[in-house]
Amino acid sequence: MKWLSRALLCSFVALGAGCASHSTTPTSPSEAAAQEAKAAPTAPLLLISIDAYRADYIDRGLSPSLQALAATGVHADSMQPSFPSLTFPNHYAIVTGLVPDHNGIVNNTMVDAELGKFSLSDRKAVSNGLWWDQGTPLWETADAHGLRSATMFWPGSEADIQSRRPDYWKPYDGKVTPDQRVDQVLAWLDLPPDQRPSFITLYFDAVDHAGHEHGPDSPQVNQALRDTDEAMSRLVDGLRQRNLLDRINIIVLADHGMASVPLENNVLIDKLISLKDVDTVSLGVLAGFNPKPKHDFNAIEEQLEQPQQHMHCWDKTRIPKRFDYGSNARVPQLVCLADVGWRITTEDYLAKHKGKISIGEHGYDNADPLMQALFVAHGPAFRNGIRFHSFPNVDVYPLMAHVLGIPPNFNDGNFGDVQGMLKPEAPAATH
């Protein structure tokens, strides 16, 4: 179907240069990439996530390649994650424009009445499209409009969602090195024009791992920043060699920030309630509980909704409005959110995981300064060398749809918030 829609589009686009054959035959794939980029009506869009790259990390001066992109592109003061400030909910918010409560990925760990349990390490759940089909990821919209897409990892990209997938995708494997990930993206850009993706994602996780294990202020996070920037530098060099650096639109962002959580900052939930009386969906920064048959859940709610030290608990119908959270059936009946710098856990868990407790966490109040994320954009669509105000991450979806020249699906974002980062003269692409 894709070739057909592409052919139809080609016949409708007045200046269908992206579809026409070239008069000179390129001698290498990289030359072909450059030629096509020159001729194509739309530059490709590369969306890069550096998991847990907090907005202020860039000021440490350990990310020279990223700083160079920021200096010659758009650098937002920060980007606000959606609530909860966790990896899967936010990666999916970015590519759907829907907050987690609306995109269905309400937590990294969740339950659904029909589908059962979901967790990041459950390959079967992660690749089951039924978990993801409350939102339509951008790669699907791209596909529906005749554009190819490729994902070098992204939550949701391994699933067949509403019978569509990225054209090229990889099952998540944390052992694939940052360089290998970059090389794969460059290889996709080297594909012949009729196979080359227009929308590509790239994902790095070392900064998140170091942040959890050693805390955001650790030398290990600094090393992860350097290592990730080396991969960014490999990417930038590869693009430059292909004469693509100024012809590709690049967005580099993070899903959330990271806060330091001292080992002793524990809210021991099992000291407050008997966990035998509830179904525990998740613990950690955002704990979730569902009623258990024959137990008085109202009494437990009444108890936990009283003011608590270092956490707040709400029945899902009473979660403060600004979190935009609680309407989805997958949100547990009672949620407890730790204050920044604290974890909700049990004595049993602490005893069993001695020496393996995360001292960096995220998932907290999405307005907290420590949860704010990186946003940098560079390329022909973006203005050069501007600082931009902070904005919510769901705005990235309509921004990306605009840059690709495709109509966005219904979403929670506001294009008006981010329009100012685009070059005024850049016309919306035609397809």
Q: Could you say whether residue 106 binds ligand AMP (CB under 6 A)?
A: no
Q: Could you say whether residue 324 binds ligand AMP (CB under 6 A)?
A: no
The contact pattern for ligand AMP, residues 14-53, with x = CB under 6 A and - = no contact, is -------------------------------------x--
Select the residue interacting with ligand AMP from 82, 87, 228, 409 (CB under 6 A): 87
Residue with tokens 């942040």: 211
Task: Name the amino acid, one letter, at 80.
Answer: Q
User: Where does this chain touch ligand AMP (CB under 6 A) — which range of 142-150, 201-209, 243-251, 349-357?
Assistant: 201-209
**Annotated catalytic sites, by residue?**
87
Q: Could you say whether residue 205 binds Zn ion (CB under 5 A)?
A: no
Nearest to 257, CA basis, from 64, 22, 50, 92? 50
Provide CB contacts within 8 A for 16, sequence distance 6+.
Answer: 9, 10, 41
Q: Could you say whether residue 126 binds ligand AMP (CB under 6 A)?
A: yes
- Per CB under 6 A, contacts with ligand AMP among 208-237 are 208-209
Question: Which of 119/414 has CB closer to ligand AMP?
Answer: 119
Q: Could you say whether residue 120 binds ligand AMP (CB under 6 A)?
A: yes
Contact 78, 389 (CB under 8 A): no
Question: Which of 100/398 has CB closer to ligand AMP?
Answer: 100
Q: Could you say whether residue 412 binds Zn ion (CB under 5 A)?
A: no
Nearest to 151, CA basis, from 164, 163, 165, 161? 165
Phi, psi of 155 (to 5 degrees): -55, 130
Give which of ligand AMP, Zn ion, none residue 297 binds (C-beta under 5 to 8 Å, depending on kind): none
The contact pattern for Zn ion, residues 36-65, with x = CB under 5 A and - = no contact, is ---------------xx-------------
The contact pattern for ligand AMP, residues 386-425, with x = CB under 6 A and - = no contact, is ----------------------------------------
Q: Could you say whether residue 255 binds Zn ion (CB under 5 A)?
A: yes
How many chain residues touch ligand AMP (CB under 6 A)? Answer: 13
Minimum distance between the CB of residue 51 and Zn ion, rounded to whole angstroms?
4
Select the residue interacting with ligand AMP from 36, 205, 368, 395 (CB under 6 A): 205
Residue nearest ligand AMP, CB atom distance: 87
Residue nearest Zn ion, CB atom distance: 87
Q: Where are the alpha helices (DSSP H) in 242-377?
A: 269-272, 297-304, 347-352
CB neighbour class for 124 (10 Å; exposed up to 12, middle 13-18, buried from 19): exposed
Contact 142, 148 (CB under 8 A): yes
Q: Could you say whether residue 307 binds ligand AMP (CB under 6 A)?
A: no
Q: Quick one: CA dihedral 90, 369, 257, 339, positive or negative? A: negative
DSSP per-residue string spanning 179-193? HHHHHHHHHHHTS-T
Minimum distance between the CB of residue 203 and ligand AMP, rounded to whole angstroms?
6
CB neighbour class for 353 (10 Å; exposed up to 12, middle 13-18, buried from 19): exposed
Provide CB contacts within 8 A for 380, sequence distance 6+.
Answer: 43, 246, 247, 249, 423, 426
- Specify the length of the chain in residues: 431
List residues near Zn ion by CB under 5 A. Answer: 51-52, 87, 208, 255
Q: Which residues bind ligand AMP (CB under 6 A)?
A: 51, 86-87, 108, 120, 126, 153, 155, 172, 174, 205, 208-209
